[in-house]
Amino acid sequence: MIAVRVPRLVLRAAVWELRKVTAFRAGFWLKEIFRNLARPLVMVCVLMSASGLPQGVAGDGVSLQSAVAYMVVVALLEKLIFHDRCLELSDQIFQGYITKYFTMPFPYFVLPAGRFVQHTLLQLAIVVPAWTLLSWWIPEWCPPPKDALHAFWSVSLVLTGSLCFLLFYFTLHALAFWLDVVWTTLVMARMLALFCGGMILPPMLMPESVQAAFAWTFPWWTIAMPVQLAAGGMGAEQAAQLWLQGLATLSVWMLVLVAIAATVWNRGRRRYAGSGM
Amino acid sequence: MEPVLEASALRKVFRTSVREAGLTGFLKSLVARRWKEMVALEHVDLRVQRGEFVGLIGANGAGKTTLVKLLTGIIPASSGTARLLGRDSFHLRDAEKSRLSLVMGQRSQLWWDIPAIDSFHLLREIYRIPSADFDKRLQGFAARLEVTDKLETQLRHLSLGQRMKMEIIGAFLHDPEVVFLDEPTIGLDLVSRETIRRFLVEHNQQRGATIVLTSHDVEDIEATCKRLVILEHGRVLWDGDIVELGHQLTAGRRIEVHLEPNLSESGAPELDLAALPLAEFQAELSGRGQHSLAFTVPAAKSQGFVRALFACLPVRDLSVERRPLEDLVKQIFAQGRRG
């Protein structure tokens, strides 16, 4: 029964969320279409400025073109990753709007899950044609995936990692049961996660030891590795092995994040005083 | 018969931090924060049977909303028990939650940026309402609350009254057995208030729903409830049938006398209140303005007292009214404070 009911509820919540994000046209374009594009594009400009020459060397044996191409694909794939501003949980806790959901016969997590489904489907509908178009138009700056299998490996890791980001941000939002500085915490945590995931600086410009350390984190397998997998710069066997390793790492992270999120939620729930009601 | 709602020796204590004023206070709070315990509810006993319409009133901070939050399982009790539909309120299962509803007058639960109908469709899925029932109820409720043509309008473009009506539709769509309404008429105009009151009374009578209405507006309570619970400083001050209060209402009259402004040099009318036979008619002076006086007097003695007023005072105008419920509530509060 639950196996049927919860997916139905999540789908209904996804439709509801879609209605919310499309309520205002300007908000829709800014938050859904252009979100996450500014920073990678700024980084492209930074890389080009740092190199001094359009086709020069950006780092030790790394061409500017490969670094820029990496950032362009990051800009596209990052749009698929769940964003902390997709959730309203902390606002709902602060302002007491969450109160009524506690009296309703459903697990609250259905709403964030609905937002996740809505966000993923909408961003896929944006990213797939955008990537196709850009890779046809400027293939040297926006390379297409090597083939369909590499594209699948890459996108499946991004989406699995995006689920980790949902759990990560949900936990941080739930800290609003205790803290009044959740937004600051979210901004700091996001910057750290972006850096670990190679979304601020291409991994090819990082020291090997730093790359090895970041490979233990879920952001690394959510974006840095999927971009490299899509480019197809390694053999098929090695790519398949990395894909499996990525799925295993992300699965372990997901289990850990589920446990943390559930603990924080349940403890916060007991602490909740329904302020503002 | 098992009560639908039950509170037994219910107590709730909130722990709040105390911050002293000024820079020193700020620095102290950074190093060692002081905490203070605030008792919101103290030993509350309450039993509500199926189909009752209970009014819950009290001053700000009396504990009304805390009681609602405890009974609906939003927050856990510090001690004592709160039970809803036979189960501990803080551990309600989906089976009990689907028979419960909560309306908060100060907190809209429908999404601000989209039409109410979209949120209703989500509620249909959450409460598993069959499509036929959903359509029938939605159309019926919207017609009764006069908002049929507003269902597809963005919530932010509706008036306060229309928004509250949408909240009420959302709360009743799943045909709940127990409904809590926390100040549903706050800030509404008279027509909207009347429409909502009528809707609630009809629903209570037709569907047998148990309704707990929290309000600062005694008129709301008088127009809808059969039972009244008055809270003061976290304790139940009065709990009883509103008809019983009605007997006290009909047993008392409020007489307001407007006096001729034949003023003395000081500007105040020359009155000899000592000449009034207050004791003889068991009357009490309950208010005094510059040119007016108000008395409360037993109904049986009001006629004689009016004659005495005309005999003793320069009466320009006089009105006799049934004593308002608000007066009685104030009296109960005053008695409670005296202990």
Query: What is the distance, to the nearest Å, from the Cα of residue A65 to the centroid of all Cα atoms in its chain?
Result: 25
- Interface contacts A/B by beta carbons within 8 Å: 76
Average pLDDT score, chain B: 86
Task: Check CB contact under 8 Å for B114 and A23.
Answer: yes
Please tell me if residue B85 touches chain A, with a CB cutoff of 8 Å.
no
Instruction: List CB contacts of B284: < 8 A, sequence separation 6 or more.
Output: B278, B295, B296, B297
Task: Check CB contact under 8 Å for B111 and A16.
Answer: yes
Task: Check CB contact under 8 Å for B74 and A5.
Answer: no
Taking residues A129-150, what's their average pLDDT?
Answer: 92
Please tell me if residue B166 touches chain A, with a CB cutoff of 8 Å.
no
Asked if B147 and B165 touch (Cβ cutoff 8 Å), the reply is yes
Residue A102 has its nearest CB partner, among B73, B106, B111, at: B73
> Could you please report the per-residue DSSP string of A53-113?
STTSEEETTEEHHHHHHHHHHHHHHHTTS--GGG--HHHHHHHTTTGGGGGSSS-TTHHHH
Residues of B in contact with A277 (CB under 8 A): 65, 69, 104, 106-107, 182
Residue appearing with tokens 């949120």: B119
Task: Check CB contact under 8 Å for A274 and B69.
Answer: yes
Residues of B in contact with A103 (CB under 8 A): 72-74, 97, 100-102
Q: Which pairing describes strands B178-182 and B100-104: parallel, antiparallel, or unpaired? A: parallel
pLDDT tens-place string over residues B94-115: 999 999 999 988 777 788 888 9
Residues of A in contact with B88 (CB under 8 A): none
Residue A8 has its nearest CB partner, among B100, B114, B125, at: B125
Distances (CA, A) of B66 to B62, B168, B277: 9, 21, 47
**Can you tell me the distance from the alpha carbon of B229 to that of B215, in angstroms, rounded to the nearest whole number?**
11
Burial of residue B113 (CB within 10 Å: 0-12, 13-18, 19+) is middle
Task: Check CB contact under 8 Å for A103 and B104.
Answer: no
Please tell me if residue A4 touches chain B, with a CB cutoff of 8 Å.
no
Residue A222 confidence class, pLDDT cut points 50, 70, 90: very high
ipTM: 0.83
Please tell me if residue B95 touches chain A, with a CB cutoff of 8 Å.
yes
Residues of A in contact with B106 (CB under 8 A): 276-277
Percentage above 90 pLDDT, chain B: 42
Please choose, from the candidates B303, B269, B305, the residue with its C-alpha nearest in 3D space to the C-alpha of residue B289: B269
Please choose, from the candidates B87, B11, B90, the residue with its C-alpha nearest in 3D space to the C-alpha of residue A272: B90
> Could you please report the per-residue DSSP string of B260-275?
P--B-TTSSB---GGG
**Can you tell me the distance from the alpha carbon of A204 to that of A222, in angstroms, rounded to the nearest whole number?**
16
Q: Rounded to a whole number, what is the distance in Å from the CA of A27 to chain B's nearest CA?
A: 11
Position B281 scores a pLDDT of 87
Token pair of A64, please? 């500017």
Please tell me if residue A210 touches chain B, with a CB cutoff of 8 Å.
no
pLDDT tens-place string over residues B6-40: 999 999 998 888 877 888 888 887 788 888 888 99
This model's pTM is above 0.90: no
Task: Check CB contact under 8 Å for A16 and B118.
Answer: yes
Query: What is the distance, to the nearest Å, from the Cα of residue B16 to the centroid of all Cα atoms in its chain?
Result: 26
pLDDT tens-place string over residues A92-127: 998 888 988 999 999 999 999 999 999 999 999 999
Which residue of A9, A10, A103, A106 is the best one to mutate when testing the B interface, meaning the one whose CB has the most B CBs within 10 A?
A: A103
Percentage above 70 pLDDT, chain A: 94
pLDDT tens-place string over residues B45-93: 999 999 999 999 888 888 898 999 999 999 999 999 999 999 999 999 9
Please tell me if residue B30 touches chain A, with a CB cutoff of 8 Å.
no
